[in-house]
Structure formats: structure tokens, C-alpha cells
Amino acid sequence: MTKWIQRAPGASQALQSLVDDLAEELGRSVVLDDPLIRLICSSRHFGDEDPVRIRGLLQGMADAEIIRYVLSQGVAQWVRADYLQGRDDLGLLPRYCVPLREKGHLLGILMVVAPDKALTSAETEAIAQAGHAVAAQMYAERLASDADEAHRQFLVRQLVGPDGSAREAARQRCLEDGMLPDAPHALVTSVVVAGRHVATGEVEIALRGSLEALLRTRTARGALAIEQDRAVLVQAFEQEPTAEDRAAQSRRIARSMATFLDPSWTTVVGVGGRQDGLGDAWISFDQARVAARAARRLPQLMGVGDWDELGEYAVLLQLPSSALGESLVPKALRRLLDSHGTPRLEETLRCFLENAGSVPRTAETLQIHRTSLYYRLRQIQEITGLDLDNGAHRLVLHMGLRLWDLLEAPELTASR
């Protein structure tokens, strides 16, 4: 019998002992996971290990496909213990799962490997008693940490808030407490979840599970604040994060959220610009909120907005939603959009403007002869009444098209 026991960082010895005692009594492998099916602690195994268990012990958490499968079975919503069906294609043996709750809060899931799905009444009673003890211990540990967590979240909100004196006080306290270092580069990421219904604890748990790994990385230290359906991550870097670093981190957050939440929820990630130290983190936060708004309105961003990549959208999206109406689209452009042959002429105008009015580059991009391009450009000028050789007129059309893009893609609303 292999003495392979694993405990996640931060898991208490008390929880490990409760899991070990139950496993020894049953002669079966026992695992305690958090609500996102991430390992808290595990007993040694008794020859009943499967590929999922082995990978979980090696990696500290299950594969994304396993997590999606378990959560899709509704385990987190179960009100009583039951068997989780195995999946041969995933290398998963059946498990007897006990949702652990206190005061209505799901604290974790106790799993007992049960390949035969034939636990005796004495065994299920022993599991139930152990489950009560584990839940009580987890709840006590959670209460002990709540005060510190509330204090850290308060400091993050103050650090990026509108009050300059409060920001400075929060910055000093972050440094004194060792919560964040006095690093030269600060970056803020905003994550917002939208759904068809009001956000519940599962959204907050998913946000925490997706972002906590970024609080201490090889290149950055971070602090986190979560409120129902949104989160703010403040990070301090010794070395300036590159565009590739920011993009990779955003994709990681988006993938993680997609693993933990079902498709009825939509997650967007907004990344602010890099700022010079924690004192200016509030600027990055304001920019991150605009970037998240862009990600909600522009499908081409695929759920991730980066302030440094927004261009003119960074200006337009600072307008309130109530102001983003068709009345802002210039009449000259509306005439073009409403005219016969709109798709071809709109594509031509966009390409011409994106290429800074260069006829050779536009013709090459559109793969048409220059004569055909000149003909289209004359049509555009006749319909709009604007001169495409005039920089101010081109600006009107370019900004008008950007506004039109925003109107074509209504903003997703958060769940509250």
C-alpha cells in the first residue's frame, strides 16, 4: 500500500488528519477538494488509484477536462451525498461525493474512491460523520482567516479608489504589511462576469480560483479584491511586463474561468496600462475598466481587452453607455452605410483609413486594381460629401466607423 499523501499549501494538519483517519477506517482512498475540484489534501491510496488521482497528486489539481466533467454533474449543487459516475475515457473511477456545507456555504467536497459503488451503510455513516467534522474544521479555519482577507480586500479597493489621500495611506499599509512590494511597475487587471441570472457564490469562487495563483508568480506579487461578479487584481513587477506577458496571463484567466463556470456565464478580462509603481495603480485600474468594457462590446477581442491595444476605442469607451447612440454617428457616414452596395464600400473605406490613405497598400490588401479602387473612393466621396484627401474628413469617417462598431455590438451587462 503506497504511502503517498499530499496536502496543498495552506491546508491544515487537522484536515489532513481527518482525511487520513477516514481513509484508514474505510481502507479506501479519500480526497478533500475545494468547490473548484482543486486538491486540499489526500490520503494515501489503497490500490484503488486511477489515472485521475495520480495526475491530481502530481499536479495539485485535476485536469481542466476532469473539473468540467465533475462540475457539469452538479456536484457543487448536491444537497446530499451521492455517487459520481466514472468515465473510462477520462480514466476516472466512480467516487462517493459528500458536499461539505456550513451556514449555507459550500466549503468543499469530500470524495471516496468507490470502484464498485457498493459502500455499506456502516461505511456511508462513517463518511457522513467524518464529513461533519471536516466541514466544521474548514468553517472554523475560514472564520479565522476572514478578518485578514477583508482587510486585504479593503486595502486593494482603497489603493485603486478615487481618494488620493486614501490611496497613499493604502499604499503605505500594503508596503508595511508586506502585502505588495515597492516595485517600479504596477499593473491592474479587471475581470467581470456576466450571466443570465444573478451571480451566486459559484462566480466568486471561480474568480478566486482563477486569480489566486497570480498573487505570487516568478515575476510579480499581487493583491486581490473580489465582489460578487467582478474582481480586481493589482500586481507589482520588478521588470516591466511585456505585451506577450499580459496577453498570456489574460488568456490563462479566461481559460480558467471557462473551466470553472458553465457556458451560461461570460467572462471578460480588462488589462490596464503599466504604471510607475503602486502610487499610480489607480490609473491602471481606470484603464482596465475601460479595457473590460471594450471586451464586452467588441467580439473581435474574444473577451480580452488590453488598454495599450485599444487605440481610439480607449477614448470612445470612456463615454457613458447612454451617450453611445446612433446620433453620434456622422450623417455623412450614415448616408454611406444606408446606401446601395454598403458592404463593398464600407470595406473599402475601412481598409483605406487603416492604411493611412495609401492607395497602393489599400489596393494590395483588397487585391483589386488601383483603377477599381479609385472608382470606389470616388463613390464614397460622392455619397458622403467628404474629401478623402482631407485629414479632418478622414478622421470624422474613421471615428464614425469605430462608433458604429460599438453600436453594432451591444454591451454585455454584468449579473447585477
160-318 is a CATH 3.40.47.10 domain = no
What CA–CA distance (Å, rounded) separates 397 from 384? 9
Q: Can you give the pLDDT at residue 9? A: 57
Reading the block at residue 59, the C-alpha cell is 499536479
Number of H helices, E strands in the chain: 14, 12
What CA–CA distance (Å, rounded) separates 21 from 12? 14
Q: Can you give the pLDDT at residue 95? A: 94
Q: Can you give the pLDDT at residue 1? A: 39
Radius of gyration, CA atoms only, the chain: 27
Q: How long a stretch of residues is the chain?
A: 416
6-144 is a CATH 3.30.450.40 domain = yes
| Domain edges within the chain | 6-144, 160-318, 322-408
The CATH architecture annotation of domain 322-408 reads: Orthogonal Bundle (1.10)
Q: Are 301 and 295 in contact (CB under 8 A)?
A: yes
Reading the block at residue 93, the C-alpha cell is 473511477
Q: Can you give the pLDDT at residue 326? A: 79
Write down the pTM of the prediction. 0.73
What CA–CA distance (Å, rounded) separates 283 from 298? 23
pLDDT tens for residues 82-104?
A: 999 999 898 899 999 999 998 77
Over the chain (416 residues), the average pLDDT of each successive run of 10 is: 52 90 94 90 86 68 83 90 93 94 88 92 96 90 78 95 95 94 96 76 86 93 92 96 95 94 91 95 96 90 94 84 78 87 88 93 94 94 93 91 78 53
What CA–CA distance (Å, rounded) separates 363 from 359? 6
Q: Can you give the pLDDT at residue 6? A: 58
